[in-house]
Amino acid sequence: MKQDFRGFLAVPAGRGHRFPAIRVAAGMLIPLLVLILLGRTDLTMCAIFGSLTGVFGRTEHHWRRLRQQAQSGVLMCLTVVAGVSMSITGRSDWELVVAATVVAAALSGTADYLRIRPAGPFTYIFAFTATAAAPFSGAVTEAALAVSGAAVTAVLLGVAGRVHARRHTPVLFRSAVPPREATRILAHAGRYAAAVAAAGSLALFLGPGHSYWAMLAACAPIAAADASHAPARAGHFILGTYGGVLLSALLLQPDWSPVQLAVLLALLQFGGEVYVIRHYGLAMVFLTPVALLMTGFVSVQPVWELTVDRAVETTIGALVAVAVILLTTGRGADWARRLALRPARISGGRSAGAR
């Protein structure tokens, strides 16, 4: 237990993480400033999600990064357009849960097949549910231009380092890798679908107000479902989000101008990217305010209601994810077996002592 606690607090060295974080932050700031200059702050949410294309393949060599970011950029554009379309046509809360479940399963399978990293549909689900839940008064074509422009910017920034590194880094192409087994892809997609559906439904029954945050929180630990640290990742997500909620409560107090808000979001994204691989909990302290502040370009919501809802929904989603992992990976059976054996060991020890 003490070793697990120390591991939870440990933060590995940050060497090699700052420059990728700068790329991602710049990829977010540039499109936001362009939209502010054009007077189209209503499109900023679409641009923010397009800029998140820069988080994919960040540790890969330039040409591998280009491939992964091009693929993820296309998926991100399709996801945002689908979410905006759902927002424009109108949708009920239950329809959003059903649609998010389908999108989670489909994009989980697609991302696994393409071997995009970070693995899983977490970022795409975030984009789909947030844009579908937010009101949008523009046209779908405008949203498509905003998200695709930001995605292209992120891809260009991702490959721009090749200009400097061409004399130092050889052109590396991905060696032939056997495709992942279809059964594992389907099983993983099923986990995402089950977690998103259960978290969204439970959140609607309990009624905090933002069910898509619960669905998003359910996705984060599922990416590590086949690893032993999935429950720890859920713990990181919950505690990091609590810290991020407190930070958000402070940052939501000032009346930020659009330019100030754009710079603030880029700085927060930078902080999140610096820690996202090293310590997921610390990363969520920075990334949670990004999710809560991005709507500040077009609307203002009560601080208390927003932050409390985020904390409650996150707890619901993360606990649902842990339950799904335990029920679908065989880890739950091992855990139950250990619990069943523990009383027998205790009673056996007492009997031996009595003799």
- Please give the pLDDT value at position 347: 46
- Please give the pLDDT value at position 139: 93
Please determine, for residue 16, whether its predicted confidence score (pLDDT) is greater than 50.
yes
- The range of the structural domain enclosing residue 294 comes to 16-173+180-348
Residue 228: pLDDT band (50, 70, 90) is: low
The residue-averaged pLDDT of 335-346 equals 50
On whether residue 86 sits in a domain, the answer given is yes
- Please give the pLDDT value at position 117: 83
What's the chain's average pLDDT? 82
SS (H, E, C) the chain: CHHHHHHHHCCCCCCCCHHHHHHHHHHHHHHHHHHHHHCCHHHHHHHHHHHHHHHCCCCCCHHHHHHHHHHHHHHHHHHHHHHHHHHHHCCCHHHHHHHHHHHHHHHHHHHHHHCCCCCCCHHHHHHHHHHHHCCCCCCHHHHHHHHHHHHHHHHHHHHHHHHHHCCCCCCCCCCCCCCCCHHHHHHHHHHHHHHHHHHHHHHHHHCCCCHHHHHHHHHHHHCCCCCCCHHHHHHHHHHHHHHHHHHHHHHCCCCCCHHHHHHHHHHHHHHHHHHCCCCHHHHHHHHHHHHHHHHHHCCCCCHHHHHHHHHHHHHHHHHHHHHHHHHHCCHHHHHHHHHHHHHHHHHHHHHHHHC
- Please give the pLDDT value at position 251: 92
Please determine, for residue 211, whether its predicted confidence score (pLDDT) is greater than 90.
no
- Please give the pLDDT value at position 3: 44
What's phi and psi for 210, nearest 5 deg? -130, 75
The residue-averaged pLDDT of 306-329 equals 87
On whether residue 252 sits in a domain, the answer given is yes
- Please give the pLDDT value at position 140: 95
On whether residue 6 sits in a domain, the answer given is no
- Please give the pLDDT value at position 234: 78
Q: How far apart are CA 338 and CA 330, in angstroms?
A: 13
On whether residue 102 sits in a domain, the answer given is yes
**∠ Cα 299 88 123 (to 5°):** 70
- Please state whether 304 falls in left (phi above 0), alpha (psi between -120 and 50) or beta: alpha
N-term to C-term CA, the chain:
32
User: Which range in 35-49, 155-169, 225-239, 276-290 is most confidently predicted, on average pLDDT?
Assistant: 35-49
Q: Higher-confidence residue: 221 or 110?
A: 110
- Please give the pLDDT value at position 355: 41
On whether residue 123 sits in a domain, the answer given is yes
Q: Higher-confidence residue: 189 or 346?
A: 189
Report the residue count for the chain.
355
Residue 190: pLDDT band (50, 70, 90) is: very high
Please determine, for residue 352, whether its predicted confidence score (pLDDT) is greater than 50.
no
For 56-105, how does the pLDDT look when each residue is reduced to its tens digit (9 = 90+)? 987 777 788 889 999 999 999 999 999 999 999 988 889 999 999 999 99
The residue-averaged pLDDT of 143-152 equals 97
Domain count, the chain: 1
Q: Which amino acid is at 77?
A: C
Q: Higher-confidence residue: 305 or 354?
A: 305
Residue 49 · residue 143 · CB < 8 Å? no
- Please give the pLDDT value at position 200: 93
The residue-averaged pLDDT of 33-60 equals 92
What's phi and psi for 225, nearest 5 deg? -60, -30
- Please give the pLDDT value at position 168: 43
> Structure tokens of 266?
């880029």
Residue 2: pLDDT band (50, 70, 90) is: very low
On whether residue 355 sits in a domain, the answer given is no
On whether residue 254 sits in a domain, the answer given is yes
On whether residue 310 sits in a domain, the answer given is yes
